[in-house]
Structure 1
Amino acid sequence: MRQTTGTYGGRSAQERRAERRERFLQAGLEQFGDKPGFRAASVTALCEAAGLSTRQFYEEFRNLEEVLAQLHLLVNDWTEEAVLRALADTGGLAFEQRIAAVLRAYVTEATADPRRLRIAFVEIIGVSAELERQRLVRRSRWVALIVAEAEAAVGRGEAAPRDFRIAATAFIGAVNGLLHDWTAGQFEATLEQVVEELVALLLGAVRPPSARP
């Protein structure tokens, strides 16, 4: 299909298309991250929420799964950016302080919008083999980040050398479950309490028993 070129209303075709895509993604965030949820959503309802036509939808996406996939990547990107900023800001701190700052940034960003949390931890599960591969790839990036920080702590004498991949993978699973239950109201806790528990959990995973307080 040939794409429309030129300008209209002072905006190029590329700018108009980017705006439409953004409106579809925003509608997807609302539809998938709240009610009715991805499995009960429809292209028609999504288009109505975006204020656009089904023809415009299929110019941007193959199906609703592609919208969900894009939202999952965006949610992970936003959280990853917050974590990388925290890492950059805490380069000179001790491992415990650095980990606390990073986990606080992660938890704050991940739970800032319950719709993002639902898309990342609930709606993405079990949709298709393709989305499962995407989920595991992004999960592996978080595992790699934790392993890298643990190995850096080894280099500074703050942790004992070993293979941290199993511990990092287990920790990511614990984080996802904890944040899901916390935001779902399964227990009451402040942000600082959640961060403190995660810091203790991670330190316990990467440090040998003799180095734990």
Structure 2
Amino acid sequence: MEAMSSAPLRTYGGVSGTDRQAERRAQLLEAGLDLLGSEEGPPHALTVRGVCRRAGLAARYFYENFADRDALAAAVYDHVVEGIAATTLEAVQEAPADAEAKVRAGLSRLVRTVAEDPRRGRLLFSPSMADAALAQRRAASTRMFVGLLGVQAREFYGVDGGTRLDILAEMLVGGLAQTLTSWLDGSLEATEDEVVDHGAELFLAVSAT
């Protein structure tokens, strides 16, 4: 549970207390992503002291926003997932009303987002993220992406939901997650375009059945 100060937040230098608190929270989230998503930093490396040092903030500002390190880890994960989901959905919705265009737009945006900031990819897909708080978040985010895929399929193709669609959505989301895991850790040698091209080919093949 996040800890928030109940004291009034005053304005300094023309910046409201609420805005300053939001800025400090953003700094802490960024510092948490730096530590959680670093190549050397497994989840247990995340400490209140380390996050505050990385953010350049006193510990009291940490507890102004978060109850403990687990609350921060969960908030970092949610922040990354929500951002990826929003930008991917935006790309799909802005693409032409054509199955291939929408699939390629969504996959391209998703793959580009995790490729351009490896911290995001490691946070979402690295097997080392076995921390209990993150494991629960990972399971929840998988359910969310499965649900989003199912909604998009029903809306685009005008089909009703059912067990078959649920299974296909589970397989596609799970398969894509494993593909990105292998690609990001280097065990799958492929270019970004190849990941998108072959992924889109598979999604379209499944949707055509």
- Do Structure 1 and Structure 2 share a fold, with TM-score over 0.5? yes
Counterpart for residue 145 of structure 2: 142
Query: Structure 1 counterpart of 2:68, which letter?
Result: N
| Structure 1 residue 125, shift from structure 2 partner | 4.4
Query: Structure 2 counterpart of 1:202, which letter?
Result: F
Distance 1:52 1:162, change over 3 A: closer
Counterpart for residue 62 of structure 2: 57
Which has more radius of gyration? 1
Structure 2, unpaired ranges of 5+: none
Are 1:75 and 2:80 matched, yes or no?
A: yes
| Structure 1 residue 64, shift from structure 2 partner | 1.2
Query: Structure 2 counterpart of 1:196, which letter?
Result: D
Counterpart for residue 113 of structure 2: 109
Q: Does the CA contact (< 8 Å) of 2:28 and 2:62 recur in 1?
A: yes
Counterpart for residue 51 of structure 2: 46
Counterpart for residue 180 of structure 1: 181
User: What root-mean-square deviation, in Å, do the aligned CA atoms of Structure 1 and Structure 2 show?
Assistant: 2.3
- Match of 1:62, SS state, is coil
Distance 1:3 1:124, change over 3 A: farther
Q: How many residues align?
A: 202
- Match of 2:204, SS state, is helix
Q: Distance in 2 between matches of 1:164 and 1:84?
A: 19
| Structure 1 residue 113, shift from structure 2 partner | 0.5
Structure 1, unpaired ranges of 5+: 209-213
1:65-103 Cα shifts (integer Å, max 9, x gaps): 11111111111122112212212222422x123212211
| Structure 1 residue 162, shift from structure 2 partner | 7.0
Q: Distance in 1 between matches of 2:113 and 2:188?
A: 20
Normalising by the residue count of structure 2, what TM-score does the alignment of the two structures yield?
0.85
Are 1:190 and 2:175 matched, yes or no?
A: no
Q: Does the CA contact (< 8 Å) of 1:30 and 1:115 recur in 2?
A: yes
Distance 1:150 1:50, change over 3 A: same
More deviation, 6-15/25-34: 6-15
Distance 1:123 1:28, change over 3 A: farther
Counterpart for residue 34 of structure 2: 30
Q: Aligned match of 2:104 in 85, 91, 100?
A: 100
Q: Does the CA contact (< 8 Å) of 1:124 and 1:132 recur in 2?
A: no
Q: Distance in 1 between matches of 2:89 and 2:149?
A: 12
Counterpart for residue 211 of structure 1: none
